[in-house]
C-alpha cells in the first residue's frame, strides 16, 4: 500500500508547488527600517543595530531563494542617509565589505547574482571595490538577483533620467514623439529589471522614503511593526502569504 501512495503524494506535492509558484512575487523590494530603534531599546549603539540588521539580510536572502523569488531589492543606503553622523555613515559604508566577506561564498554556491542601483561612483573607494568584486564574481549567475540600493534616491534617479533623455533628444539619438513609459524606464537604474510585485517596509512606518517612486506604481504594499533586526524568514513568509491573497487589477476591474 505504501509503495502505491508515495508516487501519488509526490505528484500532488509537485502540483501544489506549481500552484504556489504562480502566486509568488517575482520581485520583492524591502525598506529595511528600525535598526536604530531596535538598538536604543536595548541600550546599544545604532551601529550595533546596523550590524544585527546585516545578519537579518542573510536570513532573508536564504528565505527568498527558498521561495523562488527572482529579484530581491534591499534599500541599504539612501542619498539622504549622508546627513547622519559621520561615525554612523562610516560604519554603514563598511558593512557591504563585512557582509560580502562572510556571505559571498554562500551566495556564489546558491547561484545568486549581486547587483546595485544608485550613484555607485560616489561611494567610498573600499566600498566600491568590495561590491564591484562581488558583482564581477557573480555576474554569470542566473539565480536570485540580490539588488542593493546603495546611495539611491528616486527623485534624483528620475531627474537624472530626464536630463539624459534631453541630451539624447538634442543629440538626435531618440525622438520626443517616440518617448513613452517603456523608453523612459530604460533610463532608470532599474533598466533590465522588472518592477517590484511586493514592497515590504518594517518598523511600523508607512511611507516610501524616496524609494522606487516610478517602479512602485502598481506594487502591492505590506507593512509590519516588526523592527528590521527582529525580522526573519517567518515574517517574510507571512508577507508572501498575504501577497498570494491579493488580486492585482492594474487599474482594471
* Residues identified as active-site: 33, 81
Closest to 210 (Cα-Cα) out of 117, 88, 99, 86: 117
Give 3-state DSSP helix, strand, coil % of the chain, rounded to 5: 55, 15, 35
What's the CA gap between 143 and 110, in Å, rounded? Answer: 7
Determine the Cα angle at 240 with ends 234 and 241, to 5°. Answer: 85
What span, in angstroms and rounded, lies between the C-alpha atoms of 190 and 96? Answer: 20
Question: Could you tell me if 57 and 50 are in contact, meaning their C-beta atoms sit under 8 angstroms apart?
Answer: no
Place of cell 500552484: 19
Strand 27-31 to strand 71-78: parallel, antiparallel, or no bridges (unpaired)? parallel
Amino acid at each position: 500500500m505504501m509503495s502505491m501512495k508515495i508516487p501519488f503524494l509526490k505528484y500532488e506535492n509537485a502540483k501544489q508547488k506549481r500552484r504556489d509558484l504562480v502566486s509568488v512575487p517575482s520581485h520583492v523590494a524591502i525598506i529595511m527600517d528600525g535598526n536604530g530603534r531596535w538598538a536604543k531599546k536595548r541600550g546599544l549603539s545604532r551601529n550595533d543595530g546596523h550590524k544585527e540588521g546585516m545578519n537579518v539580510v542573510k536570513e532573508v536572502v536564504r528565505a527568498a531563494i527558498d521561495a523562488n523569488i527572482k529579484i530581491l531589492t534591499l534599500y541599504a543606503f539612501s542619498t539622504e542617509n549622508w546627513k547622519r553622523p559621520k561615525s554612523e555613515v562610516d560604519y554603514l559604508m563598511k558593512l557591504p565589505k563585512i557582509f560580502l566577506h562572510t556571505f559571498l561564498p554562500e551566495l556564489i554556491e546558491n547561484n545568486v547574482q549581486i547587483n546595485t542601483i544608485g550613484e555607485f561612483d560616489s561611494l567610498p573607494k573600499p566600498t566600491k571595490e568590495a561590491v564591484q568584486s562581488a558583482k564581477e564574481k557573480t555576474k554569470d549567475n542566473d539565480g536570485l538577483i540580490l539588488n542593493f540600493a546603495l546611495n539611491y534616491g528616486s527623485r534624483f534617479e528620475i531627474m537624472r533620467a530626464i536630463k539624459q533623455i534631453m541630451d539624447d533628444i538634442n543629440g538626435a539619438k531618440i525622438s520626443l514623439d517616440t518617448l513613452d513609459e517603456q523608453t523612459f524606464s530604460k533610463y532608470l537604474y532599474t533598466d533590465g529589471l522588472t518592477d517590484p510585485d511586493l514592497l515590504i517596509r518594517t518598523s511600523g512606518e508607512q511611507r516610501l522614503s524616496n524609494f522606487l517612486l516610478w517602479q512602485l506604481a502598481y506594487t502591492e504594499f505590506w507593512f509590519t511593526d516588526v523592527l528590521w533586526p527582529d525580522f526573519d524568514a517567518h515574517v517574510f513568509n507571512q508577507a508572501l502569504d498575504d501577497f498570494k491573497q491579493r488580486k492585482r487589477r492594474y487599474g482594471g476591474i
